[in-house]
């Protein structure tokens, strides 16, 4: 009988310990300056009544390639009050080509279709796509006419989008990609968050922080 009571007591203590651990994890708060950075000058978002998350990335970045499956699954499961978009980094000639390609794909309505295949071609298959002509041939494999690609790639609208992306990139003040910008206020990088997967946990924390702020504004007299 005493043995049974001892086992039962041990199980209760283990259960209590697990409950305390879970509660501590749920109450954990990420800290500004340690896990994320608050931007000195906030960036205006498209809709102030919603929460916006921007992925700062480049097709030329191997870390972005590794991050892509994680963030793809994450953003597909985001709540209805969160908008997700991307801004390509433009730090050198190759990144310029990739950024212009991204906006050309958007203009041709094939951005989501070709997003992951572009990563796979560049990093998984080691294809050289750092030239518009090579990129046009790659797009042709997915049914995009090379002449149509070239026309859109060099269009005023695409070039304007690239210039705007450059301006946003300077405002982000990010030292690397991938990075996440939450509601134009906070920047999350892997070196601060601890890992790519932890970037998403910090993003979830900041999304909830912004959600509560919006609710407070809505309830204010």
Q: Are 187 and 181 in contact (CB under 8 A)?
A: yes
pLDDT in tens, 119-153: 999 999 999 999 999 999 999 999 999 999 999 99
Phi, then psi, of 57 in degrees rounded to 5: -150, 175
Q: What average pLDDT does range 19-37 have in this prediction?
A: 67
Reported residue count of the chain is 221
Q: pTM of the entire structure?
A: 0.85
Q: What is the pLDDT of residue 216?
A: 84
pLDDT in tens, 82-114: 999 999 999 999 999 999 999 999 999 999 999
pLDDT in tens, 37-57: 999 999 999 999 999 999 999
Residue 113: partners with Cβ closer than 8 Å, 6 or more residues away: 142
pLDDT band at 28 (very low <50, low <70, confident <90, very high): low
Q: What counts of helices (H) and strands (E) characterise the chain?
A: 9, 5
- Whether residue 26 is predicted with pLDDT greater than 70 in this model: the reply is no
pLDDT in tens, 147-192: 999 999 999 999 999 999 999 999 999 989 999 999 999 999 999 9
How far apart CA 221 and CA 152 sit, in angstroms, is 49
Q: Are 53 and 47 in contact (CB under 8 A)?
A: no
Q: Are 96 and 165 in contact (CB under 8 A)?
A: no
Homologous superfamily of 32-219 in CATH?
Answer: Glutaredoxin (3.40.30.10)
**Block residue for tokens 């005023």:** 156
Q: Domain locations in the chain?
A: 1-30, 32-219
- Whether residue 205 is predicted with pLDDT greater than 70 in this model: the reply is yes
DSSP letters of 18-76?
HHHHHHHHHH----BTTTBEE-SSPPPPS-TTSEEEEEEE-TT-HHHHHHHHHHHHHHH
- Whether residue 4 is predicted with pLDDT greater than 70 in this model: the reply is no
């Amino acid at each position: 009988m005493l043995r049974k009571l001892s086992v039962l007591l041990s199980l209760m203590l283990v259960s209590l310990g697990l409950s305390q651990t879970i509660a501590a994890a749920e109450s954990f708060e990420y800290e500004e300056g340690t896990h994320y950075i608050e931007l000195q000058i906030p960036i205006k978002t498209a809709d102030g009544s919603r929460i916006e998350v921007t992925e700062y990335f480049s097709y030329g970045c191997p870390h972005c390639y590794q991050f892509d499956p994680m963030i793809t699954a994450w953003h597909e499961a985001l709540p209805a009050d969160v908008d997700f978009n991307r801004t390509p980094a433009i730090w050198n000639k190759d990144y310029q080509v990739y950024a212009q390609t991204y906006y050309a794909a958007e203009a041709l309505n094939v951005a989501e279709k070709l997003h992951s295949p572009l990563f796979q071609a560049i990093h998984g298959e080691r294809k050289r796509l750092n030239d518009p002509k090579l990129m046009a041939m790659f797009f042709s494999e997915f049914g995009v006419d090379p002449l149509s690609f070239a026309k859109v790639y060099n269009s005023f609208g695409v070039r304007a989008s690239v210039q705007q992306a450059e301006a946003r990139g300077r405002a982000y003040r990010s030292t690397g990609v991938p990075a996440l910008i939450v509601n134009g206020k906070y920047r999350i990088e892997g070196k601060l968050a601890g890992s790519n997967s932890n970037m998403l946990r910090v993003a979830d924390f900041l999304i909830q922080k912004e959600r509560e702020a919006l609710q407070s504004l809505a309830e204010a007299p």
